[in-house]
Amino acid sequence: MNNIHSKKIKVGELDIHYLTAGCGAPLVVIHG
């Protein structure tokens, strides 16, 4: 099992889902 941290950030009109796998580069998914 990987330690996956998920954050949902709301910036203005954007919903940003921030995913990190701990030791890798962060994966950022932006919904406009």
Alpha helices in 1-32 (DSSP H): none
| pTM exceeding the 0.85 threshold for the entire prediction | no
Do 18 and 25 contact (CB within 8 A), yes or no? no
E-strand ranges in the chain read 5-11, 14-20, 27-31
pLDDT at 27: 66
- Please check whether residue 9 is in contact with residue 18, taking contact to mean a CB–CB distance below 8 angstroms: yes
When pLDDT is cut at 50, 70 and 90, the band that residue 1 belongs to is very low
Measured distance CA(3)–CA(32) in Å, rounded: 27
Separation CA 9–CA 2 (nearest Å): 22
In the chain, where the domains are located: 1-32
**What is the residue-averaged pLDDT of the chain?**
66
